[in-house]
Structure 1
Amino acid sequence: MTQLNIAVAGAGMIGQAHIAVLSQSDRCTLSAIVDPSPAAVATAAQAGVPLYPSLAALFAAGKPDGIVLATPNHLHLPQALECMAAGVPMLLEKPIAATLAEGLQLQKVAEETQARVLIGHHRAHSPIMAKAREVVDSGKLGQLVSVMGSAQFFKPDGYFASGPWRTQPGGGPILINLIHEVHNLRMLCGDISAVQAFASNATRGFAVEDTVAINLRFASGVLGSFMLSDTAASARSWEQTSQENPAYTTYPDEDCYLLAGTFGSLALPTMRLKTYPRAEDRSWWKAFEVGVVGMVRDDPLKRQMAHFADVIQGRAAPLVSARDGVQNLRVTEAIAQAAKTGLVVSI
């Protein structure tokens, strides 16, 4: 099979992660890097591919089969429009855009032109999430009732010193980290219809939140609670429990989600399952059947790139569409609004 030529725009941390995945892919190959920064010169030289200062320069030299846009958020809309105008399929890193209004504009053009756009919510490609969805859909948990989630971790002082913008509005964990969790929750429980939240900056004292307690109502009637903090010395986060990113130390005895239904519960990512064997035996005085759902762990970034190849070749519709990206951003902005106003925000 002929390999697809994939360019990567943005040679920062996430861009380099995509470059590493492409170096191991049997369906795609890195064909170019687009980045005007001097630091990108070494990255391109090491990868052995040409470096272009702009998308226009790349397209003038020859259009790739697809492109990964791993650039800063404020560039997502103009660069995505440029790619769609050129007819180049894209894997656009989350969030879909810097603001909901920009995201809606991008979605409108993508749908009108039938552009091939995959939004980079890579956890959607996690085999853990796929198996959890399978368990929920199978009815083993009964009617889904609730979900409890946690993303609690400690960001070191150097994280803020190297990027002082992270101490200012827009730099807190709601807009930086929570959008990953929103997509996970939507995958597991469906669309979110209302949110409320309390936020605090009492620990670090920055002009932005460091801890947030969130309540969620899903369109299905499921209720959820979520604890978010970047100053809590805790291992209850996806990165520290899923074993999917080798950059993080992981703790296989910890979970960060608990799904509960009328017949049982499932903890993620350990996949510990507790169910009642018969309807007539459901009682807190009765014992659960206890087990672990079998599954194979794999790198979601690698699986995402393979799916992008399918999208480029017309073999699959994007697992995470522009519409999904907009809805994730909409929920995240609603949580920020709820924390600021103290009101229940409908979505």
Structure 2
Amino acid sequence: MSELNPVRIAVIGAGAMGRNHIRFVTEEPEAELVAIADAFEGARATAEAAGVPFYTDPAQMMDEVKPEAVIIATPNDLHLGVAREAIKRNIVPLVEKPISNDLEDAQAFAAEGETAGVPVLVGQHRRHNPFVNKAKEIIESGELGKLTVSSFHYMIYKNDEYFDVEW
């Protein structure tokens, strides 16, 4: 059995979600963290701790490091600009949700990715949450009868530090 080369991934945006992605990438044996980009110079310490190059310009990082994929965890209104830069370079972007604050622009971007032949992924991590999976299992079992209407609320506590990031 031959070993595959790990996927070379860079993270763009080293805030709360970005740091989670950095951790997940470094813990995944089939992935290699190759760089971190963030407009905030203070994120350099995160890159140094991870032992990877740091960039304040994501386009420069993509040109120099040439990752196979990027995870985009910037503020929402910056998602598509960075994702378009990745597509131009044939780099697969995983974009944190929401993909955009503008539906028409998101649809245009999806078409651009399809035309370029570059897969575009959107982070929907709760899709794999054990509680969500259990709810789906119960619904599909018929135990609740035939559902015609439902309303679900997801609430989670995020401490003040989660929101205390410099954009």
Structure number having the greater helix percentage = 2
> Shift of the alpha carbon at 1:19?
0.7
Question: What SS is found at the alignment partner of 2:101?
Answer: coil
The one of 47, 50, 59 equivalent to 1:47 is: 50
Measured after TM superposition, the shift of residue 103 of structure 1 is 1.4
The answer on 1:5 being equivalent to 2:13 is no
Give distance in 2, aligned partners of 1:139 and 1:133. 10
Which one has the largest radius of gyration?
A: 1
Shift of 1:124: 1.1
Q: Are 1:34 and 1:52, in contact at CA under 8 Å, matched by a contact in 2?
A: yes
Task: Return the TM-score normalized by structure 2.
Answer: 0.83
Whether the aligned pair in 2 keeps the contact of 1:69 and 1:91 (CA below 8 Å) is yes
Displacement of 1:147:
2.2
In the TM superposition, what whole-angstrom CA distance separates every residue of 1:22-59 from its partner, at most 9, and x where no partner exists?
22111112110011321111111111000122222122
Q: Among 139, 142, 151, which residue is 1:139 paired with?
A: 142
Instruction: Give the strand-richer structure, 1 or 2.
Output: 1
CA contact (8 A) 2:34 2:65 kept: no
CA contact (8 A) 1:34 1:53 kept: yes
Give the alignment partner of residue 70 of structure 2, picking from 61, 67, 71: 67
Following superposition, the deviation at residue 153 of structure 1 comes to 6.5
Q: How does 1:166-205 map to 2 (within 5 A)?
A: none
SS in 2 for 1:144: coil
Percentage of pairs with the same residue: 37
1:31 equivalent in alignment to 2:27? no
The 1:45/1:110 distance shift into structure 2, 3 A limit, reads: same
Is the 1:80–1:92 Cα contact (8 Å) retained in structure 2?
yes
- Displacement of 1:86: 0.9
- Which consecutive aligned stretches of 4+ in structure 1 deviate over 4 angstroms post-superposition? 151-160
Unaligned runs of 5+ in 1: 164-347
| Distance change in 2, residues 1:126/1:153 (3 Å) | closer
Q: Which residue of 2 aligns with 1:100?
A: 103
Query: Structure 1 length normalisation: TM-score?
Result: 0.42
User: Which runs of 5 or more structure 2 residues have no equivalent in the other structure?
Assistant: none
Q: How many residues align?
A: 162
- Whether the 8 Å CA contact 1:76–1:98 is kept in 2: the answer is no
* Equivalent pair of 2:26/2:32 in contact (CA under 8 Å): yes
Cα distance in 1 between the residues matched to 2:43 and 2:24: 18
